[in-house]
């Protein structure tokens, strides 16, 4: 029997997804004794998984329940094969992205403040807000209370499976989509990351959905903010370090851009951090992938990888091959 260690946080009904021929080993937190398992399905929260790892022996394969596994190689070392759960939170993350783009263009954060104040006449703050953030000072009548997504240009920085789902969900809005990935491709047209600087000025919304790597650290920094169009919306659904936080704070405080973040650097964002009080900013606490469908999707992906491993077949979502 193949010993497979799993976190006690997994719902019991999800265990039926795993194939026969294995011994499921429940790993409590904290774990106070050593356990031998060949395959480890760690907790989705890195802090819990990190506490568990020192007590595991014989691990050859890690089946992560999340797509972001940048913390795992340093934990388990190069001898262990790591697979991620690519696809587990595509829908929820893509929906979060569409929601915040619409919410920011429709001024929902400001309307919520108006609702809490109980003062209907505060609606007349919106024309000045629109003029300040976009630079459009024409005497428009009726006054502008919100903006339209339809017809705008959206730059997708990262064109993996989540980026493709975001584009699919954007289709009804008839936006122009600019795509960026590590390497250029022709069909559909995908630009290389080297083209990012010249594409940024064209975009009304810039969506970050890249992994956190040495190459993507501070991909968006002061030079990139400097060439963003007035009123551009930066959406970070990737990882906090993809953006230089100090440069982001400066850009927001200048009133030139707006942003929606599901991730920050540092994270968790400390009490009193300057980001909390920045104008034109909406923050959610790294919840973009969190939905009732997340765990079932992730376990099904892990179970499929486990079947392939047991059958000697190539694994699909390998991010590190053990040496």
Known catalytic membership, residue 286: yes
Specify whether the CB–CB gap between 29 and 7 falls below 8 A. yes
CB 39 within 8 A of CB 2: yes
Q: Tell me whether residue 128 is in a domain.
A: no
Q: Are residues 160 and 241 in the same domain?
A: yes
Candidate list 286, 300, 307, 308, residue with the active-site label: 286
Question: Could you tell me if 167 and 218 lie in one domain?
Answer: yes
Q: Return the bridge partners of 153, or none.
A: 176
pLDDT digits (tens, 9 = 90+) for 4-26: 999 999 999 999 999 999 999 99
Q: What value does the mean pLDDT take over residues 195-208?
A: 98
pLDDT tens per residue across span 37-61: 999 999 999 999 999 999 999 999 9
Residues 115, 246: Cα–Cα separation, whole Å: 31
CA–CA gap between residue 144 and residue 147 (Å, rounded)? 8
- What is the predicted pLDDT for the residue at 239? 95
Known active-site residue 267 = yes
Nearest to 5 by CA among 60, 46, 47: 60
Phi-psi region of 228 (alpha: psi -120 to 50; beta: other; left: phi over 0): beta
Average pLDDT over residues 303-320: 97
Q: Are residues 170 and 82 in the same domain?
A: no
- Give the model confidence (pLDDT) of 139-185 as tens digits: 999 999 999 999 999 999 999 999 999 999 999 999 999 999 999 99
Structurally, how many domains does the chain consist of? Answer: 2
Is 253 contained in some domain?
A: yes
Which position among 8, 176, 267, 313 bears the catalytic label?
Answer: 267
Question: What residue numbers bound the domain in which 218 lies?
Answer: 90-106+147-283
Q: Give 111's contacts (C-beta < 8 A, 6+ positions apart).
A: none
Both 181 and 81 in one domain: the answer is: no
Interatomic CA distance for residues 244 and 260, integer angstroms: 14
Mean pLDDT, rounded, for 191-202: 97
Same domain, 95 and 244: yes
pLDDT beyond 90 at 68: no
97 and 242, same domain (yes or no) = yes
Which one-letter DSSP state was computed for residue 204? Answer: S
242, part of any domain: yes
The per-residue pLDDT for range 282-301, each reduced to its tens digit, is: 999 999 999 999 999 999 99
Q: Do 298 and 256 share a structural domain?
A: no
Confidence at residue 178, expressed as pLDDT on a 0 to 100 scale? 98
> What is residue 323's predicted lDDT score, i.e. its pLDDT?
80
Q: What pTM was estimated for this model as a whole? A: 0.92
Decide: 310 and 19 in contact? Cβ < 8 Å. Answer: yes
The shares of helix, strand and coil residues in the chain, as percent rounded to the nearest 5, are: 40, 20, 45
Chain centroid to Cα 47, Å, comes to 18
Among residues 89, 191, 204, 239, the one annotated as catalytic is 239
314 plus 273 within the same structural domain: no
- For position 222, which CATH number holds? 3.40.50.720
CB 305 within 8 A of CB 317: yes
Whether the Cβ atoms of residue 17 and residue 301 lie closer than 8 Å to each other:
no
Task: Tell me whether residue 67 is in a domain.
Answer: yes
Residues 119-151 pLDDT 10s: 999 999 999 999 999 999 999 999 999 999 999
For residues 9 and 44, membership in a common domain is answered with yes
Q: To 10 degrees, the CA torsion angle through 265, 271, 275, 281?
A: 110
Are 79 and 183 in the same domain?
A: no
Residue 213 within any structural domain of the chain: yes
3-state secondary structure of 143: coil
Same domain for 96 and 227, yes or no, is yes
On whether residue 131 sits in a domain, the answer given is no
Span 68-81, average pLDDT: 94
Residue 305 lies in a domain: yes
* Residue 32 to residue 89: CA distance in whole angstroms: 32
What pLDDT, on a 0 to 100 scale, did the predictor assign at position 114? 97
- What are residue 64's phi and psi, to 5 degrees? -75, 150
Q: Is residue 135 situated within a structural domain?
A: no
Q: Are residues 235 and 151 in the same domain?
A: yes
Q: How far is CA 151 from CA 134, 160, 259, in A?
A: 16, 23, 20
């Amino acid at each position: 029997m193949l010993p497979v260690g799993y976190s006690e946080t997994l719902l019991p009904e999800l265990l039926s997804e795993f194939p026969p021929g294995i011994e499921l080993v429940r790993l409590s937190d904290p774990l106070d004794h050593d356990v031998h398992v060949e395959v480890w399905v760690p907790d989705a929260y890195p802090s819990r998984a990190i506490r568990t790892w020192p007590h595991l022996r014989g691990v050859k394969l890690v089946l992560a329940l999340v797509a972001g596994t940048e913390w795992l190689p340093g934990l388990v070392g190069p001898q262990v094969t790591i697979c991620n759960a690519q696809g587990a939170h595509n829908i929820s993350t893509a929906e979060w992205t569409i929601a915040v783009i619409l919410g920011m263009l429709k001024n929902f954060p400001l309307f919520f403040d108006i609702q809490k104040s109980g003062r209907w006449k505060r609606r007349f703050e919106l024309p000045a807000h629109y003029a300040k953030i976009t630079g459009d000072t024409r005497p428009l009548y009726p006054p502008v209370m919100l903006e339209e997504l339809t017809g705008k240009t959206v730059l997708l920085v990262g064109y993996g499976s989540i980026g493709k789902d975001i584009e699919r969900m954007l289709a009804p809005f008839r936006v122009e989509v600019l795509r960026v990935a590590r390497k250029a491709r022709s069909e559909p047209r995908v630009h290389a990351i080297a083209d990012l600087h010249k594409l940024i000025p064209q975009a009304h919304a810039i969506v970050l959905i890249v992994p956190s790597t040495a190459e993507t650290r501070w991909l968006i920094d002061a030079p990139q903010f400097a060439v963003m169009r007035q009123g551009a919306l930066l959406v970070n659904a990737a990882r906090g370090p993809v953006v230089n936080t100090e440069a982001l704070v400066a850009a927001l405080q200048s009133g030139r851009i707006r942003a929606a973040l599901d991730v920050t650097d540092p994270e968790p964002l400390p009490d009193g951090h300057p980001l909390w009080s920045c104008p034109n900013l909406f923050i959610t606490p790294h919840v973009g992938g969190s939905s009732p469908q997340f765990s079932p999707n992730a376990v099904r992906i892990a179970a499929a990888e486990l079947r392939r491993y047991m059958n000697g077949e190539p694994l699909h979502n390998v991010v590190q091959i053990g040496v």
